Structure 1
Amino acid sequence: MTLTRDLEGRARARFAELLGRDPVPLDEAALAIAQEEYPALEPEAYLTRLDDLAARVARRVPGPVRAASALRALREVLHDEEGLRGNDDDYYDPRNSFLNDVLDRRLGIPITLALVYIEVGRRAGLRLEGVGFPGHFLAKYVSPGGVEVFVDAYHGGEMLSADECVARYKARTGGKDLDPRYLAAVSPRQILARMLQNLKRVYAERKDDVRLFWVLDRILLLAPGQREALRDRGLAAARLGGAAAAIRDLEAYLALAPAAADADEVRATVAGLRAGRGALLN
């Protein structure tokens, strides 16, 4: 299997190029992730869709943008009219993580739905940021005076205060305190990393090593020093028959973590690959 060549595709090159920008364009980078699954995807068509949605929001907020009116308009357009909603029936469908599918199917998970709210809001003059709330990604607006309004895109754009977010967390965790850092804004790179981690879990559960391999590769483009992703990409390569790529990644992992709990197991895997027994991996 030509894993080295597979890493040099158009979608990967596009994603790498976008990561070099400051700030990283969240909408374009999310579509670059989707391009690996959909090679014929035309990003401009979906960027135009976001533009059109934002124009509809803007028409409902004439004159200077007022946050309260803009937030209501955003909800009216995206939820009430477009029907954008959480996919309760098949939460772990990988299509929920691809921006083009979310826009086409009007279904998603918290992070991709929040991404749509963030990008449509930005175009309409409303600055929203992502929030890495545990287990349920949110967006938020911060007023010039520091007042925070959280938006739950998965539940129809419901607006919440910080206290309501804390109360929800406590109700879900049996009264545990919420670390305030989980209500802080996260960067586009962090949003992309969380999207990729979601896909990683889906493909690992499905034992889909081909897709798992490219997702891990994108994670490593975002965070080259992430040891777990380096190890897992090497193991996926080994299962796919790419011994050279597997050895390279696994030896790099051992160089970074020679005393890791699984180091001896990884060394044994490398030895097996070098002995030509990679096919025994399962």
Structure 2
Amino acid sequence: MNFSSARQYFYQEIQQPDEYIDLAKAALYVAQEEYPELDVEEYLNALDTMADEVGERLPSSRYPLRVIQSINQYLFDDLGFVGNQTDYYDPRNSFFNDVIDRRLGIPITLSLVYLEIARRIDFPMEGVGMPGHFLIRPAISEMEIFVDAFNRGEVMFAADCQDKLTQMFQQPVTLRPEFLATVSKRQFLARILTNLKYIYLKKQQIEKSLAVVERILLLFPDATSELRDRGFLYYQLGYYPQATKDLQIYLENVPDAEDAMSIRWLLKEMRE
């Protein structure tokens, strides 16, 4: 499979209404641009098998905490899935096939393994985009519990989330409702891609950064900051007409942006 057909499959998957997007497929299409030979079905089958094995262990009384306990035992004790503490910024932590193969990932991709198994055993869960850390929770409105897939499925309550934020930001953080808001499937995929984008930017891999930003813009065509970033990346690659177009649209949308002056200077430089 070539790069553009993986992109095409990704695009087709995210064209559907949000609730119909298959997160596992979409995440595997993201990985397929990196691994053109990747067999998506093989990984979907692996998730089916995992779910079947969890299903066999479920207690007859399916209390949410007992279901979570069964998933935790299977994923973290039996299979040995673990958060990659030593090399958090390895791009493989963001590629879903690598996460399944290596049993190693970051909060959002380990959450995806968890969500996909939970969905297959009819225990729907949803992503929670807490600042700086990703959690999941059972999709049961009266139940305020959270699961941290990066820390072996630790069960947390709102107060624990506040402690976690305080610990991460090394200063007292007041828990606001939006910190524990559930994310849409598009937002979930954008968060995986944003992780990859920063990894590639840090490594100065401009073409790979551009490929990631293009996919974020497929998810959110009106994301002005991504449009600006794509303009900068085009500029760095010497694609001046494309860079000019993106940066001009950005300025039209955000004329009083903090970086407006430097962007006008850049546009002038490209014209000359």
Could you say which residue in structure 2 is the equivalent of 1:19? 14
Matched, 1:235 2:235: no
After TM superposition, the structure 1 = structure 2 runs for residues 248-263 of structure 1, keeping only pairs within 5 Å, are 248-263=245-260
| Partner secondary structure for residue 192 of structure 2 | helix
Letter in 1 for 2:148: D
Letter in 2 for 1:231: R
Q: 1:68 to 1:231 in 2, by over 3 A?
A: same
Could you say which residue in structure 2 is the equivalent of 1:106? 103
| Partner secondary structure for residue 129 of structure 1 | strand
- The CA deviation at 1:75 is 0.7
- The CA deviation at 1:67 is 2.1
Please provide the CA RMSD for this pair. 1.9
| Partner secondary structure for residue 51 of structure 1 | helix
Matched, 1:57 2:66: no
Could you say which residue in structure 1 is the equivalent of 2:71? 74
| Partner secondary structure for residue 136 of structure 2 | strand
Could you say which residue in structure 1 is the equivalent of 2:156? 160
* TM value normalised by structure 1: 0.89
CA contact (8 A) 1:230 1:253 kept: yes
CA contact (8 A) 2:59 2:66 kept: no
Once residues 192 and 30 of structure 1 are traced to their aligned partners in structure 2, the CA distance between those partners, rounded to angstroms, is 7
Q: How many residues align?
A: 268
| Partner secondary structure for residue 159 of structure 1 | strand
Could you say which residue in structure 2 is the equivalent of 1:169? 165
After TM superposition, the structure 1 = structure 2 runs for residues 65-144 of structure 1, keeping only pairs within 5 Å, are 65-143=62-140
| Partner secondary structure for residue 88 of structure 1 | coil
| Partner secondary structure for residue 204 of structure 2 | coil
Once residues 261 and 163 of structure 2 are traced to their aligned partners in structure 1, the CA distance between those partners, rounded to angstroms, is 45
Matched, 1:9 2:10: no
Letter in 2 for 1:222: L
- The CA deviation at 1:142 is 4.3
Q: Which runs of 4+ in 1 moved over 6 A?
A: none
* Unaligned ranges ≥5, structure 2: none
Which digits, 9 at most, give the CA deviation of each residue in 1:119-163, with x for residues without a partner?
Answer: 11100111111111121101111446x122211111111111222
CA contact (8 A) 1:142 1:149 kept: no
Letter in 2 for 1:112: T
Letter in 2 for 1:259: D
> Which shifted more, 100-109 or 166-175?
166-175
Once residues 70 and 198 of structure 1 are traced to their aligned partners in structure 2, the CA distance between those partners, rounded to angstroms, is 30
Once residues 44 and 137 of structure 2 are traced to their aligned partners in structure 1, the CA distance between those partners, rounded to angstroms, is 22
Could you say which residue in structure 2 is the equivalent of 1:29? 26
* Unaligned ranges ≥5, structure 1: 1-5, 276-282
Could you say which residue in structure 2 is the equivalent of 1:149? 145
CA contact (8 A) 2:59 2:67 kept: no
Once residues 108 and 80 of structure 2 are traced to their aligned partners in structure 1, the CA distance between those partners, rounded to angstroms, is 17
- The CA deviation at 1:53 is 0.6
CA contact (8 A) 1:85 1:154 kept: yes
Q: Which of 171, 184, 187 is the aligned partner of 1:187? A: 184
CA contact (8 A) 2:84 2:105 kept: yes
Which digits, 9 at most, give the CA deviation of each residue in 1:48-100, with x for residues without a partner?
Answer: 11111111110111656432332111111111111111111100011101111
Matched, 1:213 2:206: no
Once residues 201 and 138 of structure 1 are traced to their aligned partners in structure 2, the CA distance between those partners, rounded to angstroms, is 20
| Partner secondary structure for residue 259 of structure 1 | coil
Letter in 1 for 2:165: Y
* TM value normalised by structure 2: 0.92
Which digits, 9 at most, give the CA deviation of each residue in 1:182-219, with x for residues without a partner?
Answer: 12221111111111111111111111101100111111
